[in-house]
Structure 1
Amino acid sequence: MHIEKNVCDSIIGTLLEIPGKNKDGIAARLDLLNMGVKTDLQPEYGGRRTRLPPGPWNLSRAEKREVCNSFYGMKVPEGYSSNIKNLVSLQDSRLLGLKSHDCHTLMQQLLPVAIRSVLEKPVRYAITRLCFFFNAICAKTVDVSKLDKLEEDVVVTLCLLEKYFPPSFFDIMVHLVVHLVREVRLCGPVYFRWMYPFERYMKVLKGYVQNRTRPEGCIAEQYIAEEAVGFCTQHLSDVSTVGVPSSQKMGVSKPLSGCTNTEEVLPYIEQHMIHIKTAYPKFRKRTKWLQDKHNSTFIQWLRFKVQSELEEDNHGVSENLRWLAAGPNMAVPLYRSYLIKGIKFNIKAQDDVRTTQNSGVYLLAHTMQVASAKDKNPILSNMGFYGVIQEMWDLDYQKFTIPVFRCDWIDSSGLVVDELGFTLVDLSKIGHRNDQFVLASQVKQIFFVDDPMHRGWSIVLSMPNREYNDVIGDEVLGDVIIECEPFTRGMPNVDTFDELVGELGGQNIRGGCEDIWIE
């Protein structure tokens, strides 16, 4: 945790030339001269001030403003991090007051996005590779077979940074990055050992102090009182505990029992498909036509089918299936926010007036893919959909409720994946207008950040899951959106990295960047 924070401070401090954090200066340039490397970056002394030629790591004034504006415009989900906007000083083009967790979120996801349009490509990709490494090393699930490759890649990444950054940048904290993979191999995943939960709990304990002359006594008395009250609430119904909040997974706002009954409907889906093929023998081989016909007629057919079975003795129709076939109440309540599986979702109109973004969703569906409108032989495969929640409905089936979201889904023409694995979407290209609804339990939360390199496009980032308890089976991978998470696609191959980014052009002085003057 502290290695990540110090490395983040060094990178941002050097790029934005923040006093006290900047690893560049006269002493750093003289080190280059004494070592006999990059001698063209040596300081040039004048009468009143000294000129430092701009190096590969230096940003122009316009690029500094662009990086700060990118951070200033980021809206992240609630609980993801602090408000990034409060950390940016547009007047000075700096980031101020970064805490440990702020540096964690920057190195994990936000910094590679903010620097996409600045620096030369080799320098930018070297920094991005380091961010990819921290994201992989802090993942909730770690593939042990890939640790050796990850360790080799981080060594190459640091060597690439040595090509472009001054020697003063490489202090002991940057060196310790090499040993993080070995630490994971010996001790297990990082999140079991970092200090964020303990530092967060220390804030809770500090809140117990009412008499500053006796802080230990205040903490002990308050802790014992909350333990006693919390024990009593376990024997009372509909009473929540006090003190440290429990996992939000225990506080789902609406019952979701109806969402688990889809297996009861599967046999009827197969029967209905057989019924359609029998009724329309000319279209038996047209898969897309059969699917469209099934979607438009299944609900009415299911209602009559269940009613006919209920009239028979020993029909075997369950209570849930009977209510599902009858349909929901036509009076549908709408919500602006919804809490499900410990994650809070908002509609787009709610996000527009808030500093957080909770309206982005991602759906991985096994659906039909067609090459064109005339394609009669579609392919069934997994496909990812990205959207924004516009409305939240709560369908009332008398015995249970099922929450559904009406979303604006991004059309396939507005979806691009670049060479680093970043997923870019054009939020103005809306498609799939005939199928906008999705079950709330099926989507994962994502958020969109404006791409500084391509105006009008947004980069898809995922909300990391903070709940590590009671996660078994496929849910472990389900909490991480592999298809829309750019950093899980892996960094570029080390062997082809130089071919991908090229070289600096044989000179160390960066063109198009203002000189640095020191009084």
Structure 2
Amino acid sequence: MDLPDICAREDLHLLADGVGPIPIWRLDASKKTKFFQWIIDDVKFHDGYASNLSYCVDDHSGRLAGMKSHDCHVFMQRLLPFAFTQLLPNVVHEAIAGIGAFFRDLCSRSLTVEGLHTLEDNIPIIICNLEKLFPPSFFDVMEHLPIHLPREAALGGPVQYRWMYPFERYMFHLKKKVKNLSKVEGSIVAQSINEETSHFSAYYFAPNVQTKARKPGRYDDGGVRPFYHTSVPDIFSQIGRLSGKKREVWFTDQEFNHIHTYILRNCDDVIPFEKIFDDQVSGAYPNMTEARKEEMKQTQYANWLKYYIKSAASRQEHYPTWFEELVGGPLSRAMAYPMYCTRGYVFIKRPGITNRKTVNYGVVVRTDSIDYYGEITDILEVEYPGVINLKCILFKCDWYDPRVGRGVRLTKYGVTEINSTKQLRKYDPFILASQAAQVCYIPYPQVGVRQYPWITAHQINPRSRVDGVKEKEPLQQIAVNEITQVDQSVGDIPLVDIENIELEEIWENAEDEEDGEEFDDQNDSASSDYSSDSE
């Protein structure tokens, strides 16, 4: 009621009878229904990354309830930068997306000095854009706090080492030890001693005896490389574990030739022979175009290399046994599996029709010039006949069009968009499992009759694993580091939804909120076992 005294925006003032206009940032009933339905049907992440957000949708009260701290982080950092693109006016969407992208970049695993300076320059503009939209009652000390967070990160480093969530998880671990509620501290001490005793005793059991400390993870990759009697290239000795019911598949002539050539061209030990082939082709056909050379390499390189190795004796050259088996080609059949665990990821082939609440079939392959986004349709174990018996894992994928602007584009808030209606025209379905990183695809909320063709791609780091860091190579996804300057909205902003002619009963809503408890049992109920964690 004191808004006229502290704010000159008359379009937000209440009338004498306690009613006011509908603001532009409020979703009407139809859009709220579409938003909740989008969360229930389309918002799916990798297994183990977040809880099922559909369980947090309360249709009766029209709100999200029961979200844990990690769910709030996922919602703000992953969904807010694009969720309201078509549901709210552009000026409102950009203000909300700006604050979501700010916390996503701030909470990344690695931070750069230039990135922190950009965040420090952006956050005042982001807060000002919010102040132009929302009433003064929305802002308190917590809305002012983000101003200081980039400076704090510059002094203290990444936030994962300083926030309270690891301690909250450990407190939850201690609370589970309480058996006697009248002696809480004593119960924790007694159970902690028992836990330490069991861990100490576990070291005296044989390695094959499974204990609590040795229990493998849900998607453990085994941790042991395949054994060969001789040294082989890394693509044949990747750590991983196949799972599920296997089946036998037979390659067509096109698939066989493509797989054989692809493995040869991606084996480091064979690269010198590829250069010899290029030199011979260039010498025989000096006017041949690069596209024609690439086509010839795809169709004739494997047969040329096989003949080159067979004639090695005439040149008094000798090659190891595994190399001769590799050049000879794989078997025409392979074993297909539905699941493959490696490098902290769990890859599952794309199902036909399923009610799974998680998606693990999205992949991305990054090259120096272009990124390929696709979906796994099959997981194949390719085997080479011979004494060494080489084996490697391939993914068969359907690829989206990788051309920037046509099939892939990046928004100014760091969200990668994929055109789901554009496919890769070139026949190149196979990749090595070691080349794939995992992504999940989330569509936009459907507003009109036709589905929006662009979907968002989110690359998420494997859970509970940090790989070695190369010099100047960040651990977070590449899009996060591309922080752009935030545009400040100028001019007058209409704060009232002129299309909504209804008035809002402020008094009745306020009384309903006062009657209800601020923290009820439903909000305290846990929807997942995950607390906030670094991404």
Structure-2-length-normalised TM-score: 0.77
User: Do the aligned residues in 2 keep the contact of 1:328 with 1:395 (CA within 8 Å)?
Assistant: yes
* Change over 3 Å in CA distance of 1:57–1:504 after alignment to 2: farther
Residue 370 of structure 1 corresponds to none
| Matches of 1:226 and 1:31, distance apart in 2 | 63
Give the distance between the partners of 2:441 and 2:356, measured in 1 at CA: 15
| 1:387 and 2:374 are equivalent in the alignment | yes
Deviation string, structure 1 residues 67-108 (Cα, Å, up to 9, x no partner): 222222211111111111111123433111011100111111
Match of 1:458 in 2: 455
Q: Shift of residue 161 of structure 1?
A: 0.8
Equivalent of residue 143 in structure 2, options 157, 171, 174: 174
Q: Report if aligned partners of 2:115, 2:481 keep a CA contact under 8 Å in 1.
A: no
Q: Of 480, 491, 494, which aligns to 2:476?
A: 480
Give the share of equivalent positions with the same residue, in percent: 28
What is the alpha-carbon distance in structure 2 between the residues aligned to residue 232 and residue 352 of structure 1?
45
Conservation of the 8 A alpha-carbon contact between 2:98 and 2:413: no
Where does residue 347 of structure 1 map in the other structure?
A: 349
**After alignment, is 153-162 or 249-258 more displaced?**
249-258
How has the CA–CA distance of structure 1 residues 188 and 420 changed in structure 2, closer, same or farther, with 3 Å as cutoff?
closer
| Matching residue of 1:306 | 309
Q: 1:442-486 CA distances to partner (integer Å, 9 max, x unpaired)? A: 121111111236623311122134445452216953x5332xx4x
Q: Secondary structure at the match of 2:456?
A: strand
Aligned to 1:132: 101
The 8 Å contact of residues 23 and 495 in structure 2, kept in 1 or not, is answered as: yes
Report SS of the residue matched to 1:56: coil
- Structure 1 residue 240 displacement after superposition: 7.5
3-state SS in 1 of match to 2:277: helix
How far apart in 2 are the matches of 1:85 and 1:222?
Answer: 39
Does the Cα contact within 8 Å between 1:251 and 1:342 map onto a contact in 2?
no
Distance 1:312 1:410, change over 3 A: same
| Residue 78 to residue 450, structure 1, CA distance change in 2 (3 Å) | same
Amino acid at match of 2:267: T
> Relative to total residues, which structure has the larger helix share, 1 or 2?
1
**SS in structure 2 of the partner of residue 151 of structure 1:** helix
- CA distance in structure 2 between the aligned counterparts of 1:229 and 1:306, rounded to whole angstroms: 57
- Match of residue 65, structure 1, among 33, 37, 41: 33
| 3-state secondary structure, aligned to 2:370 | strand
Alpha-carbon contact 1:55-1:508 (below 8 Å) kept: yes
Cα distance in 1, alignment partners of residues 390 and 174 from structure 2: 41
TM-aligned CA distance change 1:257 to 1:124, over 3 Å? same
- Segments of 5+ residues of structure 2 without an aligned counterpart are 227-232, 238-265, 509-535
Q: Which amino acid aligns with 2:235?
A: G
Residue aligned with 1:355, SS: coil
Between the aligned partners of 1:215 and 1:409, the Cα distance in structure 2 is 56
| Whole-angstrom distance in 2 between the partners of 1:308 and 1:508 | 80
- Please say which of residues 324-333 and 172-181 is displaced more in the overlay: 324-333
Question: Relative to structure 1, is the Cα distance of residues 114 and 470 closer, same or farther in structure 2, using a 3 angstrom cutoff?
Answer: closer
> Per the alignment, do residues 297 and 337 of structure 1 end up closer, same or farther by CA in structure 2, a change over 3 Å counting?
same
1:111-122 residue pairs with structure 2 within 5 A? Answer: 111-122=80-91
The structural deviation recorded for 1:153 is: 1.0
- Partner Cα distance (1:475, 1:210) in 2: 50
1:147–1:105 Cα change, 3 Å? same
Residue 138 of structure 1 and its aligned partner are, at CA, apart by 0.8
Does residue 1:145 correspond to 2:138, yes or no?
no
Equivalence map 1:138-217=2 (5 Å): 138-208=107-177, 215-217=187-189
Q: Does 1:95 align with 2:64?
A: yes
Are the equivalent residues in 2 in contact too, given 1:405–1:440 (CA < 8 A)?
Answer: yes
The separation in 1 between residues aligned to 2:74 and 2:313, in whole angstroms, is 56
Report the Cα distance in structure 1 between the residues aligned to 2:463 and 2:314, rounded to whole angstroms: 50
Aligned residues: 458
2:397 aligned residue: 407
Distance 1:159 1:241, change over 3 A: same
- Give distance in 1, aligned partners of 2:310 and 2:469: 39
5 Å matches for 1:7-86? 30-46=1-17, 50-72=18-40, 73-86=42-55
In the alignment, which of 234, 240, 257 is matched to residue 257 of structure 1? 234
Partners of 2:358 and 2:164 lie apart in 1 by 25
- Contact residue 360 and residue 445 of structure 1 kept, 8 A: yes
What is the one-letter code of the residue matched to 1:268?
F
Residues 69 and 264 from structure 1, CA distance in 2 versus in 1: closer, same or farther, beyond 3 angstroms?
A: same
Which amino acid is 2:87 matched to? V
Between the aligned partners of 1:299 and 1:241, the Cα distance in structure 2 is 50
C-alpha separation in 2, matches of 1:297 and 1:476 = 37
> Matched residues in 2 for 1:155 and 1:247: separation?
43
Deviation at 1:166?
1.4
1:445 aligns with 2:448: no
Instruction: Please tell me the root mean square deviation across aligned C-alpha atoms, in Å.
Output: 3.0
